Structure 1
Amino acid sequence: MKLRSFRYSFTIFLFAFFVNISIFAQEQKVADSLAKIYQEGNLKNSEKLELLRNLSFNEVNNLKLSLKYAEELIALSTLEKNYLYLHRGYFQKGNKLRLLGDLNKALDAFFKSEEAAAKAKFSIGQGTANSSIADVYSVMGNSQNAQIYYKKAIKLLRNTDNAVGLASALLNAGDEYSKNKKYDLALRYFKESGEIFKKANYPSGTAYNLGNIGMVYAEQGKDALAKKYISEAIKMLEELKDYYAISDYLTYMSDIYLKQNDWTTALNYARRSLELAIRYGLKDQISNSNLKLSELYQKAGNTTESFKYYKNHIAYRDSVTNLKAVQQMADLRTDYEVSQKQSEVDLLNQGKRNRQIMAISSAVSAALVFLLAFGMYRRYKFIKKTNVIIEEEKNRSDHLLLNILPEETAHELKQNGKVLAKKFESVTVLFSDFEGFTNYAEKLSPEKLVESVDYYFSKFDEIMEKYDLEKIKTVGDCYMCAGGLPFATEDHACKMVHAAFEIAKFVSDSKKNNPLDHTRFEIRIGINSGPVVAGVVGTKKFAYDIWGDTVNIASRMESNSEPGKINISENTYELIKDAFDCDYRGEIEVKNRGIMKMYFVNNCKYKTI
């Protein structure tokens, strides 16, 4: 069994979460939102660079569109002579080309990515680029070059703080040596990789490491050790729901039992692998599992069953390597032909409609002249009568709009009918939620639940107004606000922490002096600081919102906080450390973010506001 597929997805995953410092979570909805901002234009080149980088990374549904964003990022980075973004552009281009199966062009892109990272003096980027170069060479079957570039990647990453990136490169290098039957060397690399993953508390890497060690032991004939390590890997991966890897490891367990002449157990493992692959639509694994079952039935002398599974293997193998690309090309051509034909039909229909409109217009023109004079008189009287009502409603509408949007944003919306997205370089974002809210929601009636949430959030709104902070939105029991926008301020972080203390105190006091006897909440608060993009999206039910990695990290700070505590990121700590006493919590594993430093804020050293 080949492990190239393991390393392939694993390396991309590591790059996404450890190399890019301030990216959005890789979700299609993020790409869709950013695409609207990009299409509106009116962005500085520096803003376009960041936007294109995030568009290329987050666009997962359309690889060709993602590749287009990467090409635009490369062109703009070249124009701006910004080597850091040039490195990122070429790296994204390489990733997309590799997914599209164009390995030669992907290799060229990764080489250019490494060159740009070197000019930018970005060692982590050099390391990951070299690791990706090695991966491509490995997939192409050029083991000699793969080993050379893994060594380069490891050497570079040893001099950075990217521990998980280093562990990944070591794991991949060990896999390459295992492929070439250099088992002792492979185990040495796996051992170091495993220690780093364990220290970093990175379960995915630990699971792959255990599985790879098990497969080396299987190749060495140490079946007991092989079963032990692979079984541990499967157990961990089941908890992580990484079914892609589990399917392959089950196939390998089938090999082990087959060597021990335990045909029945080998068959059971192969069947489990196939069932799992079918359940989650893993075509590559479906192909491999069918091939393994074909081999097993052939050894048992059951040629009918063997031939059936072999046909399935060929069908899925071809669908993975050929049919997908052919179908994509066919779909593109069909879409083009349909759009061309539709354009012709639309032009003919439009001409027909125009002629009909002209005929009808001539017939009603005379009637309109008469009605116009009468209508103007009636309209004059109506307008005069309703002007007062309109003015009153306008004032009421303006007041409501100011309750929804910041004053500057509301004015821009009234003047232009839309609001251009703006980037703020330094903003502080706060998230809070109530501990055990779901349990309360199950026990309280909807009316009492809304009454309870309104009691707390109304007070939070008063606190926001006191510190000149901006309430962004509420979702369920989650309250989100920001400081430093729509007007930039120097003390937004300190203001936000003061507000957080008042929120926490109000919730704590409400346990004793709450007029609503049915609610006694505990609150968790998380804060982060950094750049965001702010604006209004849509054309109905306007809502002012903010986007960016700063927002995502603030949410993670809240989910990793504790009841009654204010948990802040390292970014916010650097802004408030002189004014507030904080406890360092250490480096904590954050979902979809990796390792992050966190601090609990204890009290204020001196009055800052």
Structure 2
Amino acid sequence: MAIAKTLGRKISAVLAPGVKRAYLLLILILGLTQAMQAADPPVDSLRTILETAKSDTLRLRTLLELSTLTFRSDPNAAIAYAESARQLAGKLDDQTSLAYALKNIGLAYYIKGDYFEVLENWQRSLEIFEAIDDRLGISNLTSNVGAVYFNQGDDPKALEYYLRSLQVSEQINDSLRIATALNNIGAVYFNNKNTHDRALDYYLRALSISERVNDLEAIGTSAVNLGEIYQDKRDFERAIFYFEKALAAYEQSGGNAPYALYNLGKTYAAKGEYRKSLEYHRRAYTVAAGREARLEMATALVGTGQTQLLSQQIEQAAETFKRALSLAREVGSLVRMKDAYEGLTEAYARQADYQEAFRYQSLLNSIRDTLYTIEKDNRIQSLQFKFDIEKKENQIAMLNIDNALKEVQIQRAFTVRNLLYALALFLICTVAGVFYQYWFAKKSNRLIQKERNRSERILLNILPSDTAEELKQNGFVKAKRYERATVLFTDFKRFTEFAEHYPPTELVKSLDFYFRAFDEITSQYELEKIKTIGDSYMCVGGLPVINDTNPADAIYAAFEMAEFVRSVKIEQPEGIIPFEMRVGLSTGPVVAGVVGTKKFQYDIWGPTVNIASRMETCSEPGRINISAFTYELIRNQFACTYRGVIEAKNGEQLKMYFVDRPLVENPEVAGVF
């Protein structure tokens, strides 16, 4: 969760950033859990077996087991064991063992925080599992790779791997891996506040399965994720309940206890119990330091610093954030670096050291393409100015030398020759430097222009063209009132029930199938798509370009949408869920504008929107329900059936009508009815 990058703004304990949900979910999915639940064979005994083993097969199994048992306590030793196993597996042409050796190497690097090595080894391991069609290994590694992308902030890429892992886990009916995939998918949904309830559902399902198979790592991960949900809801007692459940499980399994401790510290800080909060954060740091887990150490230090800020220990907080920043830089964690910069900005601002506060604030906003262009132009101009000054000074120096050489003829030729050589070399270097800076600036400008064009295309996918142009010119968009617009809502009947019984991949594929068709229909009738909310689709006619035909346009579009949904139910395309759909419309004044600064959202507001939503809720599958406002405008174009009245939230009685058919056939929708 991001903290506002405002100089001197107080950092809230509740919003204090933690490691992403499912921070060490891969421990759950590495295929090692069952071995950890049983009594681990002593490492010394395995080393003895390794020294005396005569069979290469026995040596290979022993090396893999040693790397499995030491990846937490001694990741460097685990890498050495797994590397030896990799070489021996290659010699024996044992592809399965080779894949597991690469996986164990990646796991040890994950504990060390070296994500580049992690991905390299896990991608190679996944390729081998795919080549030998080892579905257990595929499920395992896709979840692992997804977790790395997740911790680096690439949610779409992470979700792609998580969904694939869930699909394969369900195919092989592996309860533990199903629980893992549910946890991971829930973690992605947690990143969006609008989908927190969906994340909660996934986490609860994951915890239920984890407790059924009695896997401590899985229980700990599911519980800590649930704790974060309730922490975000500010239900601190439930959050503490689940974090303590996670801590108990992790302490028994040797799992990620620092993260559970960190969250307990964050929760107590939010409750105002700062001393208890600091105790938990320091315990988290101690445990992480014992494992040389630098990312977890940095996270614990960030939590400590934030609590120190809240308890007015400002100087101590600044030192703590500096330690966190150093560790974050070592492991390349941009999230932790951001947290440390924000904490240092806050700490120095409170000490009235605005120079330092501004320096750290600037680090958060240092990359701006316009500044980059200006900087390059200034560098070129500065270089040219320096060249002209130095050239003039050299000319003066040459004149002085000529005057001196008149008195010393013997030295003249020697001095002039050396001077000319030096000047020529200087001119060559200077001119070359100018041309290089010019070439580099030109290349950089091309790249910047390419990114600008790409950003503009993305902006036009989010906002209407007129609105996007206003935003680019002014930096903001003024809200506009439209006196007559028609708002259309659709919703799929029993969608929640379908979501519980169909795989997520099939559900998302089906929604995409329907909404793509709706997008084409709305474009055909010059309607503006506003947004989709779960299974609901919202569009509006009559803006941003004002017209008088939007009520009829919206109804024709609604008929086409309804016909498309009916055709899907009849034709049953493969992999597409046949839904039933309700449609509701209302016409009247709305206000349209853009909200947000980091993620723009074009939206509309007003009673008309609420009435249209109410019309959809009171509609029936396959029918189009309109308000009296719309009916009065289209009564001469469509045959309608009066349905009675419903009560709005403000107590107003709203008349409703079903639209049965058009009175005058529209060639665009001929045959639809």
Instruction: Compare CA radii of gyration and give the structure with the larger one.
Output: 2
TM-score normalised to the size of structure 1? 0.44
